[in-house]
Amino acid sequence: MAVDNFYYKEEKRKMTERLATTVAGLKLANPTMLASGILGYTGLSLKTVIDAGAGAVVTKSMGLEPRTGYPNPTVVQTDCGLLNAMGLPNPGISHFKEEMKQLKRTGVPIILSIYGYSLEEFVKVAEAAAEMGADAIELNVSCPHIERAGAEIGCDSTLLTEIVKQVKKAINVPVIVKLTPNVTNIAEIAKAAEKAGADAITAINTIKAMSIETETARPLLANKFGGLSGPAIKPIAVRCIYDVYKSIDVPIIGCGGVANWRDAIELMLAGASAVQIGTAIAFKGPEVFSSVTAGIDAYLNRKGFKNLKELVGLAHNH
Ligand code: DHB
């Protein structure tokens, strides 16, 4: 019994060591994170994801003022993923203060996703987020269908540089920049963000897309255009992460189509130090976090890797 207990404890210690990762100064017990936009409005829904085993969570993007978002329909299911245009609905950053207080007790890193319509607004929202105890902020400069606040920034390295620089100057919590794949050269944009002071890069946000109903000839989303997520975008995420990895030294958080451990490993082999999961939660529930983590651990163990670091970016050796 005592011997069993020793081996159990030893295995547990090795597993804990294998799965731990540090991204932008944040210590994660495992490399899975909740992606922004899913279950991220309230403290309660974020707590569900934390209880399900996520190593960190990212909130729905918050702005300075409350926003109701677009009219319905805001989500369309396609053959290969979800198409959504919610219109960044959120209660405004100040309304997240109470939720934050509850979440801080969990000890799991809470990353506040923010957006802004101007440089000044980005700085104000970032300051509010830092003040309420966010462990890091993720700049959403990549929403594919919001005028002036989204991908227009993430496509323009000069504008992005200025925002990252000023936000970094204003707060002393880590700043993560979430990039859009809807650009000619994502590595160049990532390099600009890193040069401006970004502590990590999230690659990628959704891809601008559209669906049309054949009988009525109507675009299915009320906003016409939306962001495509899920299995369809995984190969795009892998390519973007691979490209970005070659151009920067700060860590990459992979995002795009992760639904099982193999997807997560693939993004890590391309260069991601952690992975975000979003759309898969809609199909598999929050249990996806523990199943992906268990699968990553079994893979590391089977392949003889002592930790995640040994795996990150390994595809570049070929
Ligand atoms: C929305 C925001 C995003 O950043 C995205 O990728 C897709 C949709 C939204 O709130 O509409």
Question: What string of H, E and C letters represents the secondary structure of 74-102?
Answer: CEEEECCEEEECCCCCECCHHHHHHHHHH
- CA 306: distance to chain centroid? 25
Q: pTM of whole model > 0.75?
A: yes
Helix extents (H) in the chain: 2-19, 43-51, 97-104, 119-131, 151-154, 157-170, 186-195, 234-247, 261-270, 279-284, 288-303
- Residue 223, domain member (yes or no): no
Residue nearest to atom 5 of ligand 1 (CA): 143
Q: Which atom of ligand 1 is nearest to the CA of 84?
A: 8
How many distinct structural domains can be found in the chain? 1
Q: List all residues 6 or more positions away from 16 whose beta carbon is below 8 Å from its beta carbon.
A: 29
Q: What is the pLDDT of residue 3?
A: 65
- Residue 220, domain member (yes or no): no
Q: How far is the CA of 140 from the centre of ligand 1 (A)?
A: 9
- Residue 290, domain member (yes or no): yes
Residue nearest to atom 3 of ligand 1 (CA): 143
Q: How far is the CA of 270 from the centre of ligand 1 (A)?
A: 25
Name which of 68, 38, 73 is nearest 54 in CA terms: 38
- Residue 244, domain member (yes or no): yes
- Residue 197, domain member (yes or no): yes
- Residue 294, domain member (yes or no): yes
Residues 140-199: pLDDT tens digits? 988 888 777 777 777 889 999 999 999 999 999 999 999 999 999 999 999 999 999 999
- Residue 121, domain member (yes or no): yes
More confident residue, 139 or 153: 139
Q: Which atom of ligand 1 is nearest to the CA of 140?
A: 4
Residue nearest to atom 8 of ligand 1 (CA): 85
Name which of 6, 52, 40, 35 is nearest 294 in CA terms: 52
Containing domain of residue 128, as a range? 2-68+87-207+229-317
Measured over the CA atoms of residue 88, residue 93, residue 94 and residue 96, the dihedral's sign is positive
Cα radius of gyration rounded to whole Å, the chain: 19
Bridge pairing between strands 212-213 and 207-210: unpaired
Rounded CA-CA distance 38/30 in Å is 19
Residue type present at position 314: L
CATH number, domain of 275, equals 3.20.20.70
Q: How far is the CA of 6 from the centre of ligand 1 (A)?
A: 48
Residues 7-38: pLDDT tens digits? 788 888 888 889 999 999 999 999 999 999 99
- Residue 99, domain member (yes or no): yes
Is pLDDT above 60 for 283?
yes
Q: How far is the CA of 309 from the centre of ligand 1 (A)?
A: 31
Q: Which atom of ligand 1 is nearest to the CA of 146?
A: 11
Q: Which residues are catalytic?
A: 143
Residues of the chain with pLDDT > 70, as a percent, come to 99
